[in-house]
């Protein structure tokens, strides 16, 4: 059985329009939203898990907030440039490369890929995975390469936790 936890990066800043997209930092609100989601999720989290994040600053910073809260060791935290994608097929292809020894995978990434993938893989439709939104999907398969349709266990959206 595999568990996939998809988390969209926190709210990013557009204050400096000269920055390339992948360099945009988090807004202050993103830290507050992360705290809400982390507090709601902390009782559900069971290590061990592998954490993968896009290299984009906003995704990486969001992932580091989760890493810190859950005391994730260095060898369970990876930055993957190929997660900087807005295409759900590319995102799923990366997820399917996960080693089958890993049963729980956290992925920090970007919309629209995240929302489309949540709806494709899960059994509960959502209109939008908001910034710092989290979705947990369980699969019966034993191989990441074989995951197809799973059961949506948890969705956490900051606006519902305020």
User: Which CATH number does the domain housing residue 49 bear?
Assistant: 3.40.50.1240
Q: State the residue range of the domain holding 73.
A: 2-11+21-161
**Domain annotation covers residue 111:** yes
In a domain? residue 16: no
Please tell me the predicted confidence (pLDDT) of residue 67: 98
Write out pLDDT tens, residues 47-66.
999 999 999 999 999 999 99
| pLDDT computed for residue 18 by the predictor | 87
User: pTM of whole model > 0.75?
Assistant: yes
Is 74 inside any structural domain?
yes
pLDDT at residue number 14: 86
Sheet of 2-8, strands arranged across: 77-79, 50-53, 104-109, 2-8, 134-139, 151-156
Averaged pLDDT, groups of 10, the chain, 162 residues long = 98 89 94 98 95 98 98 98 98 98 98 98 98 98 97 97 92
Mention every residue, 6+ apart, whose C-beta is less than 8 A from residue 63: 7, 51, 53, 77, 106, 108
């Amino acid at each position: 059985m595999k568990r996939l936890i998809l988390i969209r990066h926190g709210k990013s800043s557009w204050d400096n329009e000269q920055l390339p997209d992948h360099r945009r930092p988090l807004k202050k609100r993103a830290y507050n939203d992360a705290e809400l989601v982390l507090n709601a999720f902390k009782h559900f989290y069971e290590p061990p898990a592998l954490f993968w994040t896009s290299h984009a600053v906003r995704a990486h910073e969001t992932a580091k907030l989760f890493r810190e809260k859950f005391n994730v060791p260095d060898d369970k935290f990876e930055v993957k440039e190929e997660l900087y994608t807005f295409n759900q097929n590319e995102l799923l292809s990366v997820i399917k490369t996960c080693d089958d020894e890993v049963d729980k995978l956290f992925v920090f990434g970007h919309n629209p890929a995240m929302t489309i993938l949540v709806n494709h893989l899960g059994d509960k439709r959502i209109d939008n995975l908001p910034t710092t939104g989290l979705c947990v999907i369980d699969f019966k398969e034993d191989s990441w390469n074989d995951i197809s349709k799973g059961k949506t266990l948890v969705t956490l959206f900051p606006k519902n936790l305020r």
